[in-house]
Amino acid sequence: MRALLALVSGALFGAGLHVSGMTDTARVRGFLDFAGAWDPTLAFVMGGAILPMVVAWRVARFGKPLAGTAFPPPPSAEITRPLVAGSVLFGIGWGLVGLCPGPALASLSYGGWPGLVFLAAMLAGMWATPPLRRVLDRRAAGT
Amino acid sequence: MELSWIYGLIGGLMIGCAGAVLLLGTGRIMGASGLVGGLVDGTGRDRSTTAAFLVGLIGTPALMTGLGWQVDTQATTQLWLLILGGLAVGIGTRFANGCTSGHGVCGMSRLSVRGFAATLAYIGAGALTVTALRAGLGL
């Protein structure tokens, strides 16, 4: 049941990314190009996606998931250094190519070799993050 | 392409509904980087749920493309840009514990301070990068 619901969710996510044009790197980079020919599409995608989620979070205040034990705890309000530094690094990569993790996966079947190279590098980066983080933490604690 | 904002809005609503199904159905937050990252680095639990999600995420666009709904991707063919960009997105989203879907869609919709901070940071950094690339290298 959980897998079926996750499959439906993933399918909707993929279809939404496809319909909205967010797997088109030129459109995404166009949104980031405030100083050039700005393309506002991404703002409509983000706004459209937030609407159902606002309702979902309201509903999630009560009870428990259909096929699960509990809803996520309330979010932390702590703005940490990894949050900001990580998001800045992510933004740089996003600006360089125009792909974020969702669309990188969604365009797997038609992104050609550039999409595959990007996805491989992204997965390698994700795989390398826990050891990298341990090294940085140790260095921070040592000095 | 003057209708692109309507497609954006419709696609966005679908993405939001996807997040609602995952949250209300399984209690999990629909963050692409968290879901796939947990599989890659071995920290993720509930792997069968994640795997099913990824099958849908990759399969539907493939199916739509096969049925004739083509979408351009236009990713650069500069190898160094692809590798550098991929590494930055992979490492950055894992350090930040979220990306456009997790912090942006799921975080901001519950007025998460961290979600707003992250979104401000990656859109700001992304905008500076696009502008710098064009000014410096003409890309």
Tokens of A33: 């190009």
Tokens linked to A81? 């250094």
Q: Is the pLDDT higher at A142 or at B112?
A: B112
pLDDT computed for residue B2 by the predictor = 66
* Cβ neighbours of residue A53 closer than 8 Å, sequence gap 6 or more: B16, B19, B20, B23, B105, B106, B109, B110
Chain A residues touching B70 at Cβ < 8 A: 110
Cβ–Cβ contacts within 10 Å for residue A40, how many? 12
Chain B residues with CB under 8 Å of A95 CB are: 125-130, 133
Considering only the beta carbons, identify the residue of B12, B109, B122 that sits closest to A91.
B122
Among A140, A28, A40, residue whose Cα is nearest residue A82:
A140
Closest residue in B to A45 (Cα–Cα): B12
pLDDT digits over B83-99, tens only? 999 999 999 999 999 99
Give A133's contacts in chain B (Cβ within 8 Å): 95
Band of residue B128 on the pLDDT scale cut at 50, 70, 90: very high
pLDDT in tens, A50-98: 999 999 999 999 999 999 999 999 999 999 999 999 999 999 999 999 9
CA atoms of B22 and A112, how far apart (whole Å): 29
Angstroms from B102 CA to nearest CA on chain A: 10
- Condensed to tens digits (0 to 9), the pLDDT of residues B8-64 reads 999 999 999 999 999 999 999 999 999 999 999 989 889 999 999 999 999 999 999
Q: In this structure, are residues A77 and B113 in contact, taking their beta carbons and an 8 Å threshold?
A: yes
Prediction pTM value: 0.95
In the prediction, which pLDDT does A142 show? 80
Kindly state the average pLDDT of the residues A90-110: 96
- pLDDT at residue A40 is higher than 70: yes
* Average pLDDT of span A94-107: 97
Instruction: Answer whether B92 sits within 8 Å of A90, measured CB to CB.
Output: yes
Whole-number Å distance between alpha carbons of B64 and B69: 5
Query: How far is B79 from B77, CA to CA, in rounded Å?
Result: 6
The whole-angstrom separation of Cα B11 and Cα B6 is 8
Res B104: pLDDT? 96
H or E element that contains A50: helix A41-59
Q: Is A136 on the interface with B (CB under 8 A)?
A: no
**CA B27 – CA B9 distance, rounded (Å):** 25
Between A20 and B136, name the one with better pLDDT: A20
Smallest CA–CA separation between A134 and chain B, in Å? 11
User: Which distant-in-sequence residues (6+ apart) come within 8 Å of A50 by Cβ?
Assistant: B12, B16, B105, B108, B109
